[in-house]
Amino acid sequence: MPSTFTNLPLTEAAAPRWLVVLLAAACGLIGANLYYAQPLIGPISESLGLSSRAAGLIVTMSQLGYGLGLLFVVPLGDLIENRRLISTILSVAVLALLGASVCRWPSMFLAAALLIGFGSVAVQVLVPYAAHLVSQDMRGRVVGNVMSGLMLGIMLARPVSSLVADLLSWRAVFMMSSALIACLTVFLAIVLPARQPSGRLRYHTLLTSMFHLLRDNRVLQRRSLYHAFLFGTFSLYWTVVPLVLTDRYHLSQKGIALFALVGVAGAVSAPFAGRAADRGWTTAATFSSMITVAAALVIGANAPYGSPVGLVMLLVAAILVDAGVAAHFVLGQRAMFLLGADIRSRLNGLYMAIFFSGGALCSALGGWAYAHGGWGLTMRVAVALPLLAIACYLTESWDSRVRD
């Protein structure tokens, strides 16, 4: 690559293929940090002496940190030179991951988990950055390709952390991620083109403007609501299905990891959704993604108890849930990135914060439903979520759907 490339200002042009691939891989590696701990709650709690009641904080703290970062750091992408901002945020993630790998006290680990989530919001600076690389007619495709990398990272995180912990230890998972993110930080600082936003707002004005964006922007309101339902379905399903695989099918941690690994196939829908949107098929693609998620849950709800056929049906449902959610994620982001280059980071931060909150709420709801009513109640709750998304989507006027 030309040595002078990174000194050039970022303009809307045809992005080099290697740069899109790099951004997709970076998003996957960074996003995975939020999910490494989920299948390791037991070993981490036992090692650090966390009680069963406090064990849930291992995941909750990283989610809290991520939410804080979405609201207070990601908007800076509209104010601060993006390459420098990305490097700074990732440096926090590197130190937090390293701290998590060596700490011996529960309070220190929970603090590290908070900072891991906080540092992982770098991915939500990279996605709007990718949208700036290209003209509007290619934006869906590029965002879709980058988002496929993020979805692969999210979906691979659980099986990878389970396998590494089984072969080495849970501490090795965080140590290895710290080394990977450190290398990534240096590489991105060297090769990314500079992008200086045109905005000149003060920080407190920038934060205040987010309230006005949420209040006045109908596309943001609706797209966030739709994806809160769909991402909530994704979170609920992947929170409960490991319990079902253990209780009904007696799978080991390795078996559950392989199940999750196959489910990654659903991430291939992201670039296809972006291409469909670029061709003007946003309405059809949005509706199809919602129907796909609803159909997946119907399949999962009817899986025969404990049989090989039931296991296959659960796997098909997992792939379809992942495919529908990944596709809608891209469609929602593309719709908002069309609203203006100067507000993309703030829109993205709000979008992510809203649906991420929906996912956290539905994860807790799924655990409650499974504990009180088993798989049947859980699936009834789960099916209701995409149906609510569809009902809300159908209330839009035809013209507004086309504009999205």
**For residue 47, which of 130, 103, 128 has the smallest C-alpha distance?**
103
The residue ranking higher by pLDDT, 222 or 63, is 222
Give phi and psi for 4, each to the nearest 5. -90, 0
233: tokens are 């379905």
| Domain 13-403, CATH | 1.20.1250.20
Rounded Cα distance between 226 and 344, Å, is 19
The residue ranking higher by pLDDT, 68 or 349, is 68
Q: List, for residues 173-219, the tens digit of each pLDDT value.
A: 999 999 999 999 999 999 998 888 776 778 888 888 888 888 888 88
pLDDT at residue 136, rounded to an integer: 67
Give phi and psi for 316, each to the nearest 5. -60, -45
For residue 14, give the DSSP letter: -
Please determine, for residue 252, whether its predicted confidence score (pLDDT) is greater than 60.
Answer: yes
Judge whether 130 and 12 are in contact, CB under 8 Å.
Answer: no
For a pLDDT cut of 90, what percent of the chain falls above it? 32
Please determine, for residue 271, whether its predicted confidence score (pLDDT) is greater than 80.
Answer: no
The residue ranking higher by pLDDT, 262 or 134, is 262
**For residue 90, which of 69, 104, 72, 75 has the smallest C-alpha distance?**
69
DSSP string, 19-57: HHHHHHHHHHHHHGGGTTTGGGHHHHHHHHT--TTTTTH
DSSP string, 98-158: HHHHH--SHHHHHHHHHHHHHHGGGHHHHHHHHHHTS-HHHHHHHHHHHHHHHHHHHHHHH
Of the CA atoms within 13 Å of residue 333, those in its CB half-sphere come to 35
For a pLDDT cut of 70, what percent of the chain falls above it? 91
Across the chain, mean pLDDT equals 84
At residue 316 the predicted structure's pLDDT band, cuts being 50, 70 and 90, is: very high
pLDDT at residue 208, rounded to an integer: 84
| Domain map (residue ranges) of the chain | 13-403
Please determine, for residue 8, whether its predicted confidence score (pLDDT) is greater than 50.
Answer: no
pLDDT at residue 326, rounded to an integer: 87
Four-residue CA torsion sign, 248, 314, 258, 361: negative
How many residues appear in the chain? 404
The residue ranking higher by pLDDT, 8 or 143, is 143
pLDDT at residue 269, rounded to an integer: 82
For residue 292, give the DSSP letter: H
**For residue 176, which of 192, 189, 163, 188 has the smallest C-alpha distance?**
163
Q: Which of 99-113, 126-140, 176-190, 230-244 has the highest average model confidence (pLDDT)?
A: 176-190
Please determine, for residue 172, whether its predicted confidence score (pLDDT) is greater than 90.
Answer: yes
Please determine, for residue 402, whether its predicted confidence score (pLDDT) is greater than 60.
Answer: no
Q: Residue 1, Cβ neighbours under 10 Å: how many?
A: 9
The residue ranking higher by pLDDT, 369 or 29, is 29
Q: Residue 221, Cβ neighbours under 10 Å: how many?
A: 15
pLDDT at residue 27, rounded to an integer: 93
Four-residue CA torsion sign, 85, 86, 89, 92: negative
What is the arithmetic mean of pLDDT over 107-132?
90
pLDDT at residue 2, rounded to an integer: 40
Please determine, for residue 5, whether its predicted confidence score (pLDDT) is greater than 80.
Answer: no
Which of 49-53, 110-114, 373-377 is the least confident region? 49-53
At residue 140 the predicted structure's pLDDT band, cuts being 50, 70 and 90, is: low
What is the arithmetic mean of pLDDT over 376-383?
91
Please determine, for residue 248, whether its predicted confidence score (pLDDT) is greater than 80.
Answer: yes
At residue 309 the predicted structure's pLDDT band, cuts being 50, 70 and 90, is: very high
